[in-house]
């Protein structure tokens, strides 16, 4: 993954948590579903009735690859770690999963590292973050902000079963939304009410054995600038 801060573009509206809840002008027509929520979703009440595909989430690229997390040149993308990113309004995060050492493919060695394996060694030599620990921190932030929907985009270099095991160990797997193909996305309010406010994509192809991981290019697209 390249760049430092991106936007997961599922549609055109950028709305940050913490914005003021809009008032409805008198005499205007309001969908009944819009007014059934009193608490905001991702910062705005109006977003509760919008489908996931009709909301844009600000995203950090290689969110784990920070000086704060002990990763420096040539692999660092940010100075500050997950908490400052969250407090700045980020609700989508790109992460790269690797084995700490090439050839040692165990669940216990799954790490977040920036780079690829084409040079004959793991990019984790430039610095790495324990994947389970990072996901546990994300889960804690989500539990503290239960009205927010979150997105993860994974550039994955580990076995899918190992990736699932790490999500299960962190406690995040139970919060993942499974999106059936060719069906409409639910609203943010529905995802929050159902206890599935986390959507996970990866950059591999669709995997019917792991329907909790959604193929990024099936559901979205990139521009020439991202």
Query: Residues 82-97: what's their mean pLDDT?
Result: 97
Token pair for 192: 């929050």
Q: What are phi and psi of 24, to 5 degrees?
A: -100, 125
Least confident of 19-33, 120-134, 158-172: 19-33
Helix (H) or strand (E) holding 156: strand 150-156
Least confident of 15-24, 46-55, 91-100, 118-127: 15-24
Split at pLDDT 50, 70, 90, the class of 226 is low
Split at pLDDT 50, 70, 90, the class of 22 is very low
| The pLDDT value given to residue 117 | 80
Pair 201, 213: CB distance under 8 Å = yes
Q: Is the pLDDT of residue 183 over 70?
A: yes
Q: Roughly how many angstroms between the first and final C-alpha of the chain, as a whole number?
A: 9
List 60's β-bridge partners, or say none.
Answer: 5, 93
pTM of the model: 0.82
Angle between helix axes 160-170 and 131-144 (nearest 10 degrees) is: 50
| The pLDDT value given to residue 224 | 76
Split at pLDDT 50, 70, 90, the class of 223 is confident
């Amino acid at each position: 993954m390249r760049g430092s801060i991106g936007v997961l573009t599922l549609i055109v509206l950028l709305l940050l948590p913490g914005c003021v809840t809009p008032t409805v002008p008198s005499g205007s027509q309001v969908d009944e579903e819009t007014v059934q929520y009193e608490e905001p979703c991702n910062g705005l009440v109006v977003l509760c009735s919008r489908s996931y595909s009709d909301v844009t989430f600000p995203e950090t690229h290689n969110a784990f690859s920070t000086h704060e997390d002990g990763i420096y040149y040539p692999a660092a993308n940010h100075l500050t770690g997950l908490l400052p990113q969250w407090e700045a309004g980020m609700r989508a995060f790109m992460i790269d999963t690797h084995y700490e050492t090439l050839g040692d493919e165990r669940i216990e060695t799954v790490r977040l590292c920036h780079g690829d394996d084409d040079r004959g060694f793991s990019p984790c030599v430039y610095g790495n973050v324990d994947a389970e620990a990072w996901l546990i921190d994300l889960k804690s932030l989500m539990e503290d902000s239960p009205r927010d929907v979150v997105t993860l985009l994974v550039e994955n270099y580990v076995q899918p079963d190992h990736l699932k095991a790490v999500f299960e160990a962190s406690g995040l797997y139970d919060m993942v939304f499974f999106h059936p193909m060719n069906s409409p996305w639910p609203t943010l309010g529905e995802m929050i009410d159902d206890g599935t406010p986390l959507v996970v994509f990866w950059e591999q192809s669709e995997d019917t054995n792991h329907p909790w991981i959604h193929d990024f290019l099936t559901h979205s697209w990139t521009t020439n600038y991202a």
